[in-house]
Amino acid sequence: MHIHILGICGTFMGGIAQLAVATGHQVTGCDANVYPPMSDQLRGAGIELIEGFGIEQLALNPDIFVIGNAISRGNPLLEAILDQGRPYVSGPQWLAENVLRGRWVLGVAGTHGKTTTSSMLAWILEDANMAPGFLIGGVPLNFGVSARLGDTPFFVIEADEYDTAFCDKRSKFVHYQPRTVVLNNLEFDHADIFSDLAAIETQFHHLIRTLPGAGLIVSNAGEASLERVLKRGCWTPVQHFNDPDGYRTSGDDASGELVLHGPQGEIGRTIWALTGEHNRANACAALLAARHVGVPFDKGLEALGRFVNVKRRMEVRGTVGDVTVYDDFAHHPTAIATTIAGLRRKVGKARILAVLEPRSNTMKLGTMKNQLPESLREADAAYCYAAHLGWDAQEALAPMGERAVVDNDLEQLVARIVADARAGDQILVMSNGGFGGIHGKLLAALAK
């Protein structure tokens, strides 16, 4: 079958494209911006890419068009597909019907930590010789790719609550019908499509309603929002983590120790490369989910000792003159705060220079702008790139006083950061986009 994918260069749709090739389909696709690294991955898989959404692509005459959720009404190719009555389907529906059906799906949902927890879970299964398939919204460095078909019934998927497509406003995860599901956390996000937290909780309950009675929900005991979701009706066993009297993790960032505790006390420990309470909680969830498919805790802990974090999650991009530059995907105030806190525990009293691009749809709307000063509290200085925002970043960060620098010019912002930096500093760059290649710019300027 020939499928043509609209919006192919996004991480999710690009992953679907690679899975489709692995299942024997002919795949072509288009996007507004065809650029590395996804374009390189796709071309390496033998996929023809087309820049833009011209209606001449109808002449490819695929058996079906697969539509990504970044494609909206008014898109010329989508309008032509609708006008001519061509067959189409959303990405999540195609995935569910052609890859996930009949498999043991392990879904990882939540506002934060989906990518990291999915990567941990896939690696634990891989290390246990279970050869899972996976589709993850990042590149787990243990694998080097974001998607793989796998050789066994097990399939790990990052279960996103964002909407499915222009024609289906349910959350993507409703399509996946997992047997094992992790509920990491739940707070307000995606202000462009959800009116409030209650609306997101409703979508999470839609997910709960699809789970089998023989499945398992691994849920964060510390999240009142998740407890509200479960109380709306639950037909599947629930195993809590982050529970003071049950399964939880502890550890030390300086030594790299990770300790797993259960209802009867300590279960086991390992030394690993990650930091932060949030990552230890992610690990606890992954260990419980892996146990559901047969991986004992001791084997899971051993695997985590060999886990390499996801690309763009506290990734060290380089060190020049004893100044280290990190790249991190954090863009929600909670994620920003936990990322900085994790780095603080790792580096002690060293200065942290936080560099932020508020780029997500929620952040660009300014919905959470008043939370930014508190989320940046543990940073010694904060630098905000404010181009293309619909709100006044200078005003929002005013409570930070001289610790905050705001600039609409990227080159000027880089110059200011480099001028302020001194030996021993940790420059933490946070954005869910490419941020204009700021990491390379910083390292080059520091080298001069």
pLDDT tens by residue, 150-189: 989 999 999 988 789 999 989 899 999 999 999 998 876 6
* Alpha helices for 179-294 (secondary structure H): 197-208, 224-231, 277-292
Domains defined for the chain, CATH in brackets: 2-91 (3.40.50.720), 102-304 (3.40.1190.10), 315-447 (3.90.190.20)
Pick 211 or 160 by higher pLDDT.
211
Supply 285's token pair: 């969830």
Determine the Cα angle at 9 with ends 433 and 410, to 5°: 25
What is the number of helices (H) and of strands (E) in the chain? 15, 23
- What is residue 215's predicted lDDT score, i.e. its pLDDT? 98
Separation between Cα atoms, residue 421 and residue 311, nearest integer Å: 25
Separation between Cα atoms, residue 173 and residue 181, nearest integer Å: 10
Pick 79 or 337 by higher pLDDT.
79
Separation between Cα atoms, residue 249 and residue 251, nearest integer Å: 7
Run of H or E including 262 = strand 257-262
The arithmetic mean of pLDDT across residues 44-48, rounded, is 89
- What is residue 35's predicted lDDT score, i.e. its pLDDT? 67
- What is residue 193's predicted lDDT score, i.e. its pLDDT? 64
Instruction: Please give the full DSSP string across 307-375, using - where no structure is assigned.
Output: --PBTTSSEEEEEETTEEEEEE---SHHHHHHHHHHHHHHHTTS-EEEEE---SHHHHHTTTGGGHHHH
The arithmetic mean of pLDDT across residues 405-420, rounded, is 93
Lowest mean pLDDT among 195-199, 253-257, 273-277: 195-199
Supply 310's token pair: 């996801």
Tell whether the model's pLDDT for residue 363 goes beyond 90. no
The arithmetic mean of pLDDT across residues 218-243, rounded, is 95
Identity at 187, one-letter amino acid code: E
Exposure letters 15-50 (e unless 16+ CB within 10 A, then b): bbbbbbbbeebbbbbbbeebeeebbebbeebebebb
Tokens 């200085």: give the residue. Answer: 381
| pLDDT band with cut points at 50, 70 and 90 for residue 267 | very high
> Ranked by mean pLDDT, which of 74-88, 322-336, 386-400 comes out on top?
74-88
Pick 154 or 273 by higher pLDDT.
154
| Residues paired with residue 250 on neighbouring β-strands, in sequence order | 259
- What is residue 194's predicted lDDT score, i.e. its pLDDT? 67
What is this structure's pTM? Answer: 0.83
The contacts of residue 36 (CB under 8 Å, 6+ apart) are none
The arithmetic mean of pLDDT across residues 248-271, rounded, is 94
| Residues paired with residue 171 on neighbouring β-strands, in sequence order | 163
Supply 433's token pair: 């986009």
Lowest mean pLDDT among 19-28, 265-274, 359-368: 359-368
| pLDDT band with cut points at 50, 70 and 90 for residue 233 | very high
Tell whether the model's pLDDT for residue 330 goes beyond 90. no
- What is residue 207's predicted lDDT score, i.e. its pLDDT? 95
